[in-house]
Amino acid sequence: MTGSFTIGLSALIEYEAKPASQSPKSKKVAAVTECVTPDQWRVTPEFSLSAPSQLLSLRDLSVAFNAGKAGEHRVLNQVSLDIAPGEVVGLVGESGSGKTVLSHTILGLLPRNGNVTSGSIEFGGRNLLQLPESSLRKIRGKEIAMIFQDPQASLNPVYPVGRQMEWILKLHRGIVAAEAKAEVLSLFESVKLRDPERCIRAYPHELSGGMCQRVMIAMALAGRPRLLIADEPTSALDVSVAVEIVKLLSRLSKELGLSILIITHDLNVAARLSDRLAVFDQGRAVEVLPSKHFLSRAQHPSSRILIEASQFLGSASNLDQADKPAPLV
Protein backbone atom coordinates (compact mmCIF):
# COMPACT_ATOMS: atom_id res chain seq x y z
CA MET A 1 0.00 0.00 0.00
CA THR A 2 1.11 3.53 -0.62
CA GLY A 3 2.39 5.68 2.20
CA SER A 4 -0.07 8.54 2.03
CA PHE A 5 -3.75 8.29 2.68
CA THR A 6 -6.45 10.68 1.71
CA ILE A 7 -9.93 9.57 2.60
CA GLY A 8 -12.08 9.94 -0.46
CA LEU A 9 -11.90 8.64 -3.95
CA SER A 10 -8.12 9.01 -3.96
CA ALA A 11 -7.85 5.96 -1.70
CA LEU A 12 -9.32 3.91 -4.50
CA ILE A 13 -7.33 5.65 -7.19
CA GLU A 14 -4.12 4.94 -5.34
CA TYR A 15 -4.99 1.29 -5.58
CA GLU A 16 -5.57 1.53 -9.28
CA ALA A 17 -2.23 3.22 -9.77
CA LYS A 18 -0.17 0.75 -7.75
CA PRO A 19 1.69 -1.81 -9.88
CA ALA A 20 0.82 -5.35 -8.95
CA SER A 21 4.49 -6.18 -8.55
CA GLN A 22 5.02 -3.94 -5.52
CA SER A 23 4.56 -6.59 -2.89
CA PRO A 24 4.27 -10.36 -2.70
CA LYS A 25 0.82 -9.86 -1.22
CA SER A 26 -0.41 -7.93 -4.23
CA LYS A 27 0.98 -10.62 -6.54
CA LYS A 28 -1.02 -13.18 -4.65
CA VAL A 29 -4.16 -11.11 -5.00
CA ALA A 30 -3.57 -10.42 -8.68
CA ALA A 31 -3.53 -14.16 -9.31
CA VAL A 32 -7.15 -14.45 -8.25
CA THR A 33 -9.68 -14.39 -11.05
CA GLU A 34 -11.55 -11.14 -11.31
CA CYS A 35 -15.02 -12.42 -11.89
CA VAL A 36 -17.96 -10.45 -10.71
CA THR A 37 -20.54 -12.63 -9.05
CA PRO A 38 -20.21 -14.98 -6.12
CA ASP A 39 -21.08 -17.90 -8.30
CA GLN A 40 -18.45 -16.92 -10.80
CA TRP A 41 -15.86 -15.97 -8.21
CA ARG A 42 -13.60 -18.92 -8.01
CA VAL A 43 -9.90 -19.40 -7.57
CA THR A 44 -8.28 -20.39 -10.85
CA PRO A 45 -6.84 -23.93 -10.98
CA GLU A 46 -3.39 -22.40 -11.49
CA PHE A 47 -3.79 -20.27 -8.37
CA SER A 48 -5.08 -23.18 -6.34
CA LEU A 49 -1.87 -25.11 -6.95
CA SER A 50 0.40 -22.43 -5.53
CA ALA A 51 -1.85 -20.68 -3.00
CA PRO A 52 -1.64 -21.34 0.73
CA SER A 53 -4.72 -23.13 1.96
CA GLN A 54 -7.49 -20.77 3.00
CA LEU A 55 -7.73 -19.85 6.64
CA LEU A 56 -11.47 -19.26 6.47
CA SER A 57 -13.82 -20.69 3.83
CA LEU A 58 -17.50 -19.94 3.81
CA ARG A 59 -19.49 -22.08 1.42
CA ASP A 60 -23.12 -21.51 0.49
CA LEU A 61 -23.82 -20.15 3.95
CA SER A 62 -27.45 -19.27 4.59
CA VAL A 63 -28.96 -17.93 7.81
CA ALA A 64 -32.58 -17.26 8.67
CA PHE A 65 -34.26 -15.70 11.68
CA ASN A 66 -37.46 -17.05 13.08
CA ALA A 67 -39.82 -14.10 12.93
CA GLY A 68 -42.69 -15.74 14.81
CA LYS A 69 -46.01 -15.52 13.01
CA ALA A 70 -44.34 -13.68 10.16
CA GLY A 71 -42.42 -16.89 9.41
CA GLU A 72 -38.78 -17.15 8.51
CA HIS A 73 -36.68 -14.12 7.64
CA ARG A 74 -33.74 -15.16 5.47
CA VAL A 75 -30.79 -12.88 6.18
CA LEU A 76 -27.81 -14.62 4.57
CA ASN A 77 -28.26 -16.28 1.23
CA GLN A 78 -25.67 -18.81 0.05
CA VAL A 79 -22.63 -16.72 0.93
CA SER A 80 -19.30 -18.10 -0.29
CA LEU A 81 -16.11 -16.28 0.66
CA ASP A 82 -12.48 -17.20 1.39
CA ILE A 83 -9.83 -15.48 3.45
CA ALA A 84 -6.24 -16.64 3.05
CA PRO A 85 -3.65 -16.49 5.84
CA GLY A 86 -2.46 -12.89 6.13
CA GLU A 87 -5.11 -11.62 3.75
CA VAL A 88 -7.34 -8.64 4.49
CA VAL A 89 -10.85 -8.80 3.07
CA GLY A 90 -13.20 -5.82 3.24
CA LEU A 91 -16.92 -6.49 3.53
CA VAL A 92 -18.96 -3.52 2.38
CA GLY A 93 -22.66 -3.07 1.83
CA GLU A 94 -25.64 -1.03 2.79
CA SER A 95 -27.17 -1.10 6.24
CA GLY A 96 -29.16 -4.26 6.91
CA SER A 97 -27.44 -6.28 4.19
CA GLY A 98 -26.28 -8.89 6.71
CA LYS A 99 -22.65 -7.98 7.42
CA THR A 100 -22.89 -8.19 11.20
CA VAL A 101 -25.02 -11.33 11.06
CA LEU A 102 -22.27 -12.91 8.95
CA SER A 103 -19.62 -12.08 11.55
CA HIS A 104 -21.77 -13.39 14.38
CA THR A 105 -22.43 -16.56 12.41
CA ILE A 106 -18.70 -17.15 11.96
CA LEU A 107 -18.20 -16.74 15.70
CA GLY A 108 -21.17 -18.95 16.57
CA LEU A 109 -22.92 -16.02 18.24
CA LEU A 110 -26.29 -16.04 16.50
CA PRO A 111 -29.19 -15.28 18.84
CA ARG A 112 -31.61 -18.08 19.68
CA ASN A 113 -33.98 -17.21 16.87
CA GLY A 114 -31.21 -17.33 14.26
CA ASN A 115 -30.34 -20.56 12.43
CA VAL A 116 -27.81 -21.63 9.86
CA THR A 117 -30.00 -23.26 7.24
CA SER A 118 -27.26 -24.41 4.87
CA GLY A 119 -23.56 -24.27 4.14
CA SER A 120 -20.27 -24.61 5.98
CA ILE A 121 -17.72 -22.46 7.79
CA GLU A 122 -14.26 -24.00 7.56
CA PHE A 123 -11.65 -22.38 9.77
CA GLY A 124 -8.16 -23.86 9.83
CA GLY A 125 -9.56 -27.08 8.36
CA ARG A 126 -12.43 -27.47 10.86
CA ASN A 127 -16.09 -26.92 10.09
CA LEU A 128 -17.08 -24.56 12.89
CA LEU A 129 -20.73 -25.47 12.46
CA GLN A 130 -20.00 -29.00 13.59
CA LEU A 131 -18.00 -28.09 16.69
CA PRO A 132 -19.54 -28.24 20.18
CA GLU A 133 -19.90 -24.97 22.09
CA SER A 134 -16.97 -25.92 24.36
CA SER A 135 -14.62 -26.08 21.35
CA LEU A 136 -16.04 -22.90 19.84
CA ARG A 137 -15.38 -21.10 23.10
CA LYS A 138 -11.68 -21.93 22.78
CA ILE A 139 -11.58 -20.57 19.24
CA ARG A 140 -13.62 -17.44 19.92
CA GLY A 141 -11.48 -14.58 21.20
CA LYS A 142 -8.33 -16.65 20.87
CA GLU A 143 -8.01 -17.89 17.29
CA ILE A 144 -10.71 -15.58 15.96
CA ALA A 145 -10.86 -12.22 17.69
CA MET A 146 -13.34 -9.44 17.14
CA ILE A 147 -13.43 -5.70 17.61
CA PHE A 148 -16.61 -3.69 17.53
CA GLN A 149 -17.92 -0.33 16.49
CA ASP A 150 -18.15 1.27 19.91
CA PRO A 151 -14.93 0.56 21.82
CA GLN A 152 -15.98 2.42 24.95
CA ALA A 153 -19.17 0.36 25.26
CA SER A 154 -17.23 -2.86 24.67
CA LEU A 155 -15.01 -2.30 27.71
CA ASN A 156 -16.19 -2.92 31.25
CA PRO A 157 -16.62 0.57 32.80
CA VAL A 158 -15.86 -0.45 36.40
CA TYR A 159 -12.37 -1.93 35.97
CA PRO A 160 -9.10 -0.37 34.79
CA VAL A 161 -8.29 -1.44 31.24
CA GLY A 162 -5.00 -3.03 32.35
CA ARG A 163 -6.91 -5.38 34.66
CA GLN A 164 -9.26 -6.33 31.82
CA MET A 165 -6.25 -7.07 29.62
CA GLU A 166 -4.82 -9.31 32.33
CA TRP A 167 -8.03 -11.36 32.46
CA ILE A 168 -7.78 -11.98 28.73
CA LEU A 169 -4.12 -13.03 29.02
CA LYS A 170 -4.97 -15.43 31.83
CA LEU A 171 -7.93 -16.86 29.94
CA HIS A 172 -6.27 -17.36 26.58
CA ARG A 173 -2.62 -17.86 27.41
CA GLY A 174 -2.48 -18.71 31.11
CA ILE A 175 -0.25 -15.70 31.80
CA VAL A 176 -0.50 -14.20 35.32
CA ALA A 177 1.13 -11.75 37.73
CA ALA A 178 4.26 -9.79 36.74
CA GLU A 179 4.53 -11.55 33.43
CA ALA A 180 0.99 -10.42 32.59
CA LYS A 181 1.81 -6.79 33.34
CA ALA A 182 4.86 -6.93 31.08
CA GLU A 183 2.78 -8.49 28.31
CA VAL A 184 0.05 -5.84 28.70
CA LEU A 185 2.72 -3.14 28.37
CA SER A 186 4.15 -4.82 25.31
CA LEU A 187 0.69 -5.14 23.69
CA PHE A 188 -0.12 -1.50 24.48
CA GLU A 189 3.16 -0.48 22.91
CA SER A 190 2.43 -2.59 19.81
CA VAL A 191 -0.82 -0.67 19.25
CA LYS A 192 1.03 2.62 19.85
CA LEU A 193 -0.93 3.68 22.91
CA ARG A 194 0.69 6.75 24.35
CA ASP A 195 1.82 6.52 27.95
CA PRO A 196 1.00 2.82 28.30
CA GLU A 197 1.80 2.80 32.05
CA ARG A 198 -0.94 5.37 32.65
CA CYS A 199 -3.34 3.52 30.35
CA ILE A 200 -2.96 0.34 32.38
CA ARG A 201 -4.38 2.14 35.42
CA ALA A 202 -7.02 4.11 33.49
CA TYR A 203 -10.76 3.37 33.44
CA PRO A 204 -12.42 3.34 30.00
CA HIS A 205 -14.10 6.73 30.58
CA GLU A 206 -10.65 8.26 31.15
CA LEU A 207 -9.54 7.33 27.63
CA SER A 208 -10.54 8.85 24.28
CA GLY A 209 -12.48 6.82 21.70
CA GLY A 210 -9.31 6.26 19.70
CA MET A 211 -7.40 5.10 22.77
CA CYS A 212 -10.24 2.71 23.69
CA GLN A 213 -10.19 1.25 20.18
CA ARG A 214 -6.42 0.71 20.51
CA VAL A 215 -7.06 -1.05 23.83
CA MET A 216 -9.70 -3.23 22.12
CA ILE A 217 -7.22 -4.10 19.35
CA ALA A 218 -4.58 -4.93 21.98
CA MET A 219 -7.15 -7.17 23.70
CA ALA A 220 -7.96 -8.84 20.41
CA LEU A 221 -4.25 -9.48 19.82
CA ALA A 222 -3.72 -10.83 23.34
CA GLY A 223 -4.85 -14.32 22.34
CA ARG A 224 -2.57 -14.24 19.26
CA PRO A 225 -5.47 -14.76 16.86
CA ARG A 226 -5.14 -15.89 13.28
CA LEU A 227 -8.23 -13.98 12.17
CA LEU A 228 -9.46 -10.60 13.34
CA ILE A 229 -13.02 -9.59 12.53
CA ALA A 230 -13.46 -5.84 12.79
CA ASP A 231 -17.10 -4.72 12.59
CA GLU A 232 -17.21 -1.00 11.81
CA PRO A 233 -14.05 -0.38 13.86
CA THR A 234 -13.78 3.26 12.82
CA SER A 235 -17.34 4.49 12.41
CA ALA A 236 -17.61 5.81 15.99
CA LEU A 237 -14.33 7.71 15.66
CA ASP A 238 -13.63 11.05 14.10
CA VAL A 239 -11.94 10.97 10.73
CA SER A 240 -8.35 11.63 11.73
CA VAL A 241 -8.50 9.05 14.55
CA ALA A 242 -10.15 6.57 12.17
CA VAL A 243 -7.25 6.95 9.76
CA GLU A 244 -4.78 6.14 12.52
CA ILE A 245 -6.74 3.01 13.45
CA VAL A 246 -6.85 1.90 9.81
CA LYS A 247 -3.08 2.40 9.53
CA LEU A 248 -2.59 0.41 12.72
CA LEU A 249 -4.69 -2.52 11.46
CA SER A 250 -2.83 -2.46 8.15
CA ARG A 251 0.55 -2.56 9.91
CA LEU A 252 -0.53 -5.35 12.26
CA SER A 253 -1.78 -7.43 9.36
CA LYS A 254 1.60 -7.17 7.64
CA GLU A 255 3.77 -7.58 10.73
CA LEU A 256 1.84 -10.44 12.30
CA GLY A 257 0.55 -12.13 9.14
CA LEU A 258 -2.90 -11.57 10.62
CA SER A 259 -5.96 -12.20 8.44
CA ILE A 260 -8.57 -9.49 8.83
CA LEU A 261 -12.21 -9.32 7.84
CA ILE A 262 -13.07 -5.65 8.00
CA ILE A 263 -16.76 -4.80 7.90
CA THR A 264 -17.62 -1.25 7.04
CA HIS A 265 -20.01 1.07 5.25
CA ASP A 266 -17.02 3.05 4.15
CA LEU A 267 -15.64 1.89 0.85
CA ASN A 268 -12.59 4.10 1.25
CA VAL A 269 -11.64 2.55 4.58
CA ALA A 270 -12.16 -0.92 3.13
CA ALA A 271 -10.19 -0.12 -0.03
CA ARG A 272 -7.33 1.35 1.95
CA LEU A 273 -7.00 -1.71 4.15
CA SER A 274 -8.05 -4.71 2.08
CA ASP A 275 -6.53 -6.98 -0.51
CA ARG A 276 -10.02 -7.86 -1.74
CA LEU A 277 -13.41 -6.30 -1.38
CA ALA A 278 -16.66 -8.22 -1.07
CA VAL A 279 -19.88 -6.31 -1.67
CA PHE A 280 -22.92 -7.46 0.27
CA ASP A 281 -26.47 -6.90 -0.87
CA GLN A 282 -29.50 -8.45 0.82
CA GLY A 283 -27.51 -11.23 2.41
CA ARG A 284 -25.52 -12.11 -0.70
CA ALA A 285 -21.89 -11.49 -1.59
CA VAL A 286 -22.75 -10.05 -4.99
CA GLU A 287 -19.25 -9.08 -6.09
CA VAL A 288 -15.75 -9.96 -4.89
CA LEU A 289 -12.78 -8.20 -6.48
CA PRO A 290 -9.18 -7.30 -5.71
CA SER A 291 -9.34 -3.84 -4.12
CA LYS A 292 -6.96 -2.34 -6.64
CA HIS A 293 -9.32 -3.19 -9.51
CA PHE A 294 -12.53 -2.41 -7.73
CA LEU A 295 -13.01 1.10 -9.04
CA SER A 296 -12.61 0.14 -12.69
CA ARG A 297 -14.07 -3.37 -12.71
CA ALA A 298 -16.96 -3.38 -10.27
CA GLN A 299 -20.16 -4.00 -12.22
CA HIS A 300 -22.87 -4.91 -9.77
CA PRO A 301 -25.33 -2.04 -9.16
CA SER A 302 -24.66 -2.20 -5.39
CA SER A 303 -20.94 -1.76 -6.01
CA ARG A 304 -21.52 1.16 -8.33
CA ILE A 305 -23.80 2.81 -5.73
CA LEU A 306 -21.08 2.43 -3.11
CA ILE A 307 -18.50 3.91 -5.47
CA GLU A 308 -20.76 6.83 -6.31
CA ALA A 309 -21.48 7.44 -2.62
CA SER A 310 -17.78 7.43 -1.80
CA GLN A 311 -17.07 9.86 -4.63
CA PHE A 312 -19.82 12.13 -3.39
CA LEU A 313 -18.64 11.99 0.22
CA GLY A 314 -15.03 12.40 -0.80
CA SER A 315 -15.76 15.61 -2.63
CA ALA A 316 -18.61 16.94 -0.53
CA SER A 317 -16.94 16.84 2.84
CA ASN A 318 -13.66 18.05 4.12
CA LEU A 319 -12.23 14.61 4.66
CA ASP A 320 -8.76 15.35 3.38
CA GLN A 321 -7.96 16.33 6.96
CA ALA A 322 -6.82 12.74 7.11
CA ASP A 323 -3.40 13.61 5.74
CA LYS A 324 -2.67 15.93 8.62
CA PRO A 325 -0.27 14.86 11.38
CA ALA A 326 -1.32 12.05 13.70
CA PRO A 327 -3.67 13.20 16.47
CA LEU A 328 -3.26 12.48 20.15
CA VAL A 329 -5.15 9.22 20.24
Ligand X SMILES: Nc1ncnc2c1ncn2[C@@H]1O[C@H](COP(=O)(O)OP(=O)(O)OP(=O)(O)O)[C@@H](O)[C@H]1O
Please say which residue, 149 or 253, places its beta carbon nearer to Mg ion. 149
Residue 307 interacting partner from ligand X, Mg ion, none (CB closer than 5 to 8 Å by kind): none
Residue 174, Ramachandran bin (φ over 0: left; ψ between -120 and 50: alpha; else beta): left
**Interface mask toward Mg ion for 79-118; x: CB under 5 A:** --------------------xx------------------
Q: Smallest gap, in angstroms, from Cβ of residue 274 to ligand X? A: 17
Q: In which element (H, E) is residue 62 found?
A: strand 56-66
DSSP secondary structure string, 130-154?
GS-HHHHHHHBTTTEEEE-S-HHHH
Please say which residue, 75 or 106, places its beta carbon nearer to ligand X. 75
Residue 96 interacting partner from ligand X, Mg ion, none (CB closer than 5 to 8 Å by kind): ligand X
Residue 65 interacting partner from Mg ion, ligand X, none (CB closer than 5 to 8 Å by kind): ligand X
Contact of 268 with 11, CB cutoff 8 Å:
yes
What number of other Cβ atoms are within 10 A of residue 270's Cβ? 28
Q: Smallest gap, in angstroms, from Cβ of residue 263 to Mg ion? A: 7
Q: Smallest gap, in angstroms, from Cβ of residue 284 to ligand X? A: 12
Taking alpha carbons only, the member of 95, 101, 94, 91 closest to residue 65 is 101
What number of other Cβ atoms are within 10 A of residue 236's Cβ? 18
Q: Smallest gap, in angstroms, from Cβ of residue 94 to ligand X? A: 7
Residue 196 interacting partner from ligand X, Mg ion, none (CB closer than 5 to 8 Å by kind): none
Q: Which residue of the chain is nearest Mg ion when measured via CB?
A: 100
Which stretches of the chain are DSSP H helices? Answer: 9-17, 24-30, 45-50, 99-106, 133-139, 151-154, 161-173, 177-190, 196-201, 209-222, 239-256, 267-273, 291-297, 301-316
> What residues make contact with ligand X under the rule CB under 6 A?
65, 73, 75, 93, 95-101, 111, 113-114, 265
Q: Smallest gap, in angstroms, from Cβ of residue 250 to ligand X? A: 22
Which chain residues interact with Mg ion by CB under 5 A?
Answer: 99-100
